[in-house]
Structure 1
Amino acid sequence: MNINELKPAVLKIIGSSNGTVKDKMQAVCELLQINLETYDWVGFYMAHESEPTLHLWAQAGEPTDHTVIPFGKGICGQVAVSNQNFVVDDVTAQDNYIACSIYVKSEVVIPMFKNGKNIGQIDIDSNTPKAFDEKDERFLEWVNEQIAAII
């Protein structure tokens, strides 16, 4: 499937009356990871309400030990501070990269906003170098908008 073909499936998950928000986030992670060839790991990290940390709420792909990430640490932690998309074509070129797997070659992290506040992010790892482009960024921004609407 391509990105545009996945949008109706994302909307179906989000609009379902079954499951919690975390269940829906998990289903979206699985949908993207299974259907997009370069999306080897997909996760949602959400900001803690009172501490400067991100907490893993849902993920598809290999399990990770990185379930809590301090703001500023790694690509995810940097996005929590900058509020900007971060596309990494080559993770080995990043000084502040947190390695989740020796196979990961590139990463994209897109912040999620609700009422103008950064509440979390979607994080995608790929075992393919330079796996992400502007189409991925726009699609993942859209996914985050759909998730934020149900939080």
Structure 2
Amino acid sequence: MFDTLKPKIKAITNTKEETETKLKNICDLLQENVPHYDWVGFYFRNGKKEELKLGPYTGEPTDHTIIPFGKGICGQVAVSNQNFVVPDVQAQDNYIACSITVKSEIVVPLFVNGENIGQIDIDSNTPDPFTDEDERFLEFVNAEVAKIIEP
């Protein structure tokens, strides 16, 4: 499945659309084509502040438009610079609940010129659906996105 999505990701990033539109189109593509991706969004560092700001996303609206570094899964990834896979959100002490239907989450940092400038965040209503294949695919997505983000 992911191999068929890779050329579609590249096609989106190579369009003449604005970056925000490209990011939204990537979110839409992933949510529509990966059955266990129920909420897909990008968070970016909010200027020089130690917080993340919600960017384009697809799925249920969220109140979490600003996330302090260190708080929740996204905030932890902003500090650790490491992928974070949560098979069961109920088992996480530092989890920020976006919806009662969310069972698991994966967050992969987005690097531009070696700097963590944001992340892709995926919530799933399916318990423990994420594999190494998801991680590698989302790393690919972020590498493609990094090419269109202005440093």
TM-score (norm 1): 0.97
Could you tell me how far 1:131 is from its partner in structure 2? Answer: 1.1
Could you tell me how far 1:49 is from its partner in structure 2? Answer: 2.1
Q: Which residue of 2 aligns with 1:8?
A: 7
Could you tell me how far 1:48 is from its partner in structure 2? Answer: 1.5
Could you tell me how far 1:29 is from its partner in structure 2? Answer: 0.2
Identity across the alignment (%): 61
Could you tell me how far 1:35 is from its partner in structure 2? Answer: 0.6
The 5 A counterparts of 1:125-144 are 125-144=123-142
Q: Which residue of 2 aligns with 1:50?
A: 48
Q: Which residue of 1 aligns with 2:95?
A: 97
Q: How many residues align?
A: 149
Could you tell me how far 1:5 is from its partner in structure 2? Answer: 0.6
Unaligned runs of 5+ in 2: none
The 5 A counterparts of 1:11-22 are 11-17=10-16, 19-22=17-20
Kindly report structure 1 stretches of 4+ aligned residues shifted beyond 4 Å: none
Q: Which residue of 2 aligns with 1:61?
A: 59
Could you tell me how far 1:142 is from its partner in structure 2? Answer: 0.5
The 5 A counterparts of 1:22-37 are 22-37=20-35
Matched, 1:112 2:142: no
Secondary structure (helix, strand or coil) at the match of 1:150 reads coil
Q: Which residue of 2 aligns with 1:72?
A: 70
- Distance across 2 between alignment mates of 1:68 and 1:23: 20
- Distance across 2 between alignment mates of 1:57 and 1:20: 13
Secondary structure (helix, strand or coil) at the match of 2:44 reads strand
Two-structure CA RMSD over aligned residues (Å): 0.6
Secondary structure (helix, strand or coil) at the match of 1:123 reads strand
